[in-house]
């Protein structure tokens, strides 16, 4: 008996994989049904539906890059402190001192790549008309995921706390100041007042809520850090679950039911 057979016949192996190797048709079906990760897929798909020239694989790559970002992001969190005092130096240390300092690069370029792949995924879905009934709702979920991906990227942009970061975020967040009615330099905000007291001012408007202060500073860094590492990823993970579930339920990757 070879070592391979010994392992495959052991009680431990059999408790994990409760069927023979997927070499015949029956077991290739069973493996898809018994594995929690694989069962995101159906058991069989239309052949034309998985042709690379048709699907481009971009949705799958976006999900894979999300996983890459999660793993590298968690690793980076071990060395990064979101305070004015430490943030920049921690990034410097990650670049110059840490072993495998390439992690920050993986995280940043992975994020850029993810923005591109999610656009291309949307592009493909549009061009094959895959948003058409009965899959309208899932297209909407996808649009929200696109927005959240951009927000993830945007909040992450601030964390190195360098000149590139602070000014990109200053410019970006100042747009919130111009929100109609809710931003203190937005149209109509000056009309919202009780007597002489203005309701919307620089300490109460939409931008203040986003930054946690009146200027991009330590409070903002902390706020964006929490959004970037916890709040938005959780929302994205939840919506990805909905998105995948609906892909299955609305007809699968190969076309409508």
Partner 1 sequence: MHTATQLAHSVQIGLGVFYLFVALMNVGFALYQCYAANNRRQGIVWSLVAGVFLVHSLAYFAGANWIISAGFRDFTTQVMGYYGGQLGPILYTTVSIILFVLFLRYRKFFTEPVVAWSILNLGLLAAGWSLTDDNFRKIITKEDNVPIVMLIFSVGFFTWLPFRRAVLNDERMANGEPPMEKEEEEKVLVWPDLVYTEMIAMIVCTFVLVIWSVLLKAPLEQPATTAKAPNPSKAPWYFLGLQEMLVYYDPWMAGVVLPTMIIIGLIAIPYIDFNQKGNGYYTFVERKFAITTFLFGFIVLWCTLIVLGTFLRGPNWNFFGPFEYWDPHKVLPLNNVNLSDYFWLPLGVTFPEGQGIGGILVREAPGIILVLLYFAALPPLLAKTIMRPFFIKMGFVRFFLLINLFQFMAALPIKMVLRWAFNLKYIIYIPEYFFNI
Partner 2 sequence: MADKSRRGFLRTIFGTWFGIAWTALTASAAGMTLGTIRFLYPNALSEPPSKFKVGFPSDFETGQVDNRFKDQNAWIVRIRDPQLGDIIYALSTTCTHLGCTPNWLEGEQKFKCPCHGSGFKITGVNFEGPAPRPLERWAIRIAEDGQLEVDKSKKFQKELGQWDDPESYVKV
State which of positions 186-245 bind partner 2 (CB under 8 A).
203-204, 208-209, 212-214, 218-219
Site mask for partner 2 (CB under 8 A), range 110-149, x = bound: ----------------------------------------
Binding site partner of 125, from partner 2, partner 1, none, Cβ cut-off 5-8 A by kind: none
Q: Which does 256 bind (CB under 5 to 8 A by kind): partner 1, partner 2, none?
A: partner 1
Q: How many residues does the chain have?
A: 257
Minimum CB–partner distance for residue 84 and partner 1 (Å): 8
The tally of CA atoms less than 13 A away on the side-chain side of residue 214 is 6
DSSP output for 242-257: HHHHHHHHTT-TT---
Please name every residue paired with 193 in a beta bridge, in sequence order, or none if there are none. 198
User: How large is the C-alpha radius of gyration of the chain?
Assistant: 24
Closest contact distance (angstroms) between CB of 13 and partner 2 is: 49
The least distance separating partner 2 from the CB of residue 239, rounded to whole angstroms, comes to 20
* Nearer residue to partner 2 within complex by CB, 77 or 209: 209
CB 160 within 8 A of CB 88: yes
Nearer to partner 2, 58 or 169 (CB): 169
Cβ(72)–Cβ(66) under 8 Å? no
Angle subtended at Cα 133 by Cα 127 and Cα 139, rounded to the nearest 5 degrees: 60
Taking the complex as a whole, the smallest distance from the CB of residue 19 to partner 2 amounts, in Å, to: 47
Contacts of 154 (CB under 8 A, 6+ apart): 169, 172
Q: Rounded to the nearest whole angstrom, what is the least distance from the CB of residue 113 to partner 1 in the complex?
A: 7
Measure the CA–CA gap between 257 and 254, rounded to whole angstroms.
9
According to CB under 8 A, which one of 27, 70, 153, 174 is a site residue for partner 2?
174
CA nearest neighbour of 211 among 149, 166, 160 = 166
Query: Which of 171, 192, 230, 237 contacts partner 2 by CB under 8 A?
Result: 171
Give the count of residues interacting with partner 2 (CB under 8 A): 15
For partner 1, the closer of residues 2 and 133 by Cβ is 133
| Shortest spacing between CB 38 and partner 1, in angstroms | 7
Q: Taking a C-beta distance cutoff of 8 angstroms, is the pair 170, 158 a contact?
A: no
Is the Cβ of residue 66 or residue 208 nearer to partner 2 in the bound state? 208
Q: Which residues contact 63 (CB under 8 A, 6 or more apart)?
A: 240
Choose between 6 and 197: whose C-beta lies nearer to partner 1. Answer: 197
- 8 A C-beta contact, residue 32 and residue 43: yes
Under the rule (CB under 8 A), what is the footprint of partner 2?
Answer: 167, 170-171, 174-175, 177, 203-204, 208-209, 212-214, 218-219
């Amino acid at each position: 008996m070879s070592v391979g057979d010994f392992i495959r016949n052991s009680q431990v192996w059999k408790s994990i994989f409760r069927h023979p190797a997927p070499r015949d048709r029956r077991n290739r079906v069973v493996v898809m049904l018994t594995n929690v990760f694989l069962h995101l897929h159906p058991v069989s798909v239309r052949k034309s539906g998985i042709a690379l020239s048709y699907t481009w694989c971009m949705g799958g790559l976006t999900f894979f890059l999300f996983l890459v970002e999660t793993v590298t992001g968690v690793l980076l969190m071990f060395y990064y402190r979101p305070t004015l005092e430490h943030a920049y130096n921690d990034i410097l240390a990650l670049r110059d001192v840490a072993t495998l300092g390439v992690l920050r690069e993986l995280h940043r370029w992975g994020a850029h790549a993810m923005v591109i792949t999610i656009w291309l995924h949307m592009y493909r879905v549009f061009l094959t008309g895959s948003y058409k009934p009965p899959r309208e709702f899932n297209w909407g979920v996808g649009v929200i995921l696109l927005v959240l991906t951009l927000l993830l990227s945007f909040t992450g942009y601030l964390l190195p706390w360098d000149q590139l970061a602070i000014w990109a975020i200053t410019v970006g967040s100042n747009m919130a100041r111009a929100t109609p009615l809710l931003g203190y330099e937005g149209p109509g905000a000056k009309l919202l007042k009780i007597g002489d007291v203005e309701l919307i001012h620089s300490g109460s408007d939409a931008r203040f809520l986003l930054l946690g202060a009146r200027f991009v500073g330590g409070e903002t860094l902390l706020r964006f850090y929490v959004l970037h590492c916890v709040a938005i990823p959780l929302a994205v993970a939840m919506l990805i679950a909905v998105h995948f579930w609906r892909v299955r339920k609305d007809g699968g990757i190969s076309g409508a039911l």
